Amino acid sequence: MRGNIFDLMGKVAVVTGGAQGLGLAMGQALANAGANLVIMDINLEKSKVEAKKIKTEYGVQTLALRADVRNQKEVEGVVAEVAKRFGKLDIFVNNAGICKNIKAEEMSLEDWQEVIDINLTGVFIGCQAAGKQMLKQGSGSIINIASMSGSIVNVPQPQCSYNASKAGVMHLTKSLASEWAEHNIRVNSISPGYMKTAMTVETLKTDMAKDYWMYLTPMQRPGLPHELGGAVVYLASDASSFVTGADLMIDGGYTIW
């Protein structure tokens, strides 16, 4: 095989929750590899700003579209618009998610349901919408953002709803990989550990983060958003053409103990 097997030139990628944090970093990595990028987020204005920056910096086509991952019609509308504008959908990254640190005995059903609706049901809705388009094409790569929390229980913070949702994402990924492999659609997941983003930067300064999170991470530091870039490009590209149903753990070694 000749050429760059990581090249995404001409591919079309959608990243949910792509206007900030890990989603934005992964979108930048895909664009850097040549993919045209669609940022799907509930914050349309921020999405437009970031899409414009990425277009200027990487010279790819970009588009900002608003959708709530919990709303099936909105997500299907995004996929339909992408197919109309670009003629195809090659890569779909289900990144949008939330976490609520509430003790199990104190968690309301509403709080539990919101986490499950966004983190798990939202991923299914995205997979289904993207999968239908990819079935028509006969190809595609879906990348679900799970978490090391789908494999371990974080301490000391209580987050049973988040852990359960991410474990569900991992098994959903394997299930869809099995169903769609014969159609040349690959479905994989990435499981980040503790990452330094705008949402976590203050928490990372606390004694809890130092005494538990970093102490239990062999590399003794949080991951940086751009450090997920290689993984998402790998799973989106021909470099991973025989990879489906896999989960890439990117956690600084947290889960090896």
Assess if residue 256 is contained within a domain.
no
pLDDT digits (tens, 9 = 90+) for 133-172: 999 999 999 999 999 999 999 999 999 999 999 999 999 9
CB atoms within 10 A of CB 178: 12
Assess if residue 155 is contained within a domain.
yes
Contact 173, 231 (CB under 8 A): no
Assess if residue 4 is contained within a domain.
no
Select which of 11, 141, 149, 162 is catalytic: 162
Select which of 11, 47, 165, 166 is catalytic: 166
Active site residue 162: yes
Assess if residue 124 is contained within a domain.
yes
- Return the residue matching tokens 């989106």: 236
Contact 248, 227 (CB under 8 A): no
Active site residue 166: yes
Assess if residue 253 is contained within a domain.
no
The three-state secondary structure class of 188 is: strand
Select which of 47, 141, 147, 161 is catalytic: 147
* Per-residue model confidence as pLDDT tens for the chain (257 residues): 568 999 999 999 999 999 999 999 999 999 999 999 999 999 999 999 999 999 999 999 999 999 999 999 999 999 999 999 999 999 999 999 999 999 999 999 999 999 999 999 999 999 999 999 999 999 999 999 999 999 999 999 999 999 999 999 999 999 999 999 999 999 999 999 999 998 899 999 999 999 999 999 999 999 999 999 999 999 999 999 999 999 999 999 999 98
pTM of the shown model:
0.97
CA 159, 165, 168, 169 dihedral sign is negative
Domain residues for 45? 12-247
CA distance 31 to 63: 12
Assess if residue 135 is contained within a domain.
yes
Note the helical H segments in 100-221: 109-116, 122-137, 160-180, 207-208
Assess if residue 121 is contained within a domain.
yes
**First-last CA distance in the chain:** 38
Assess if residue 257 is contained within a domain.
no
How many domains are there within the chain?
A: 1
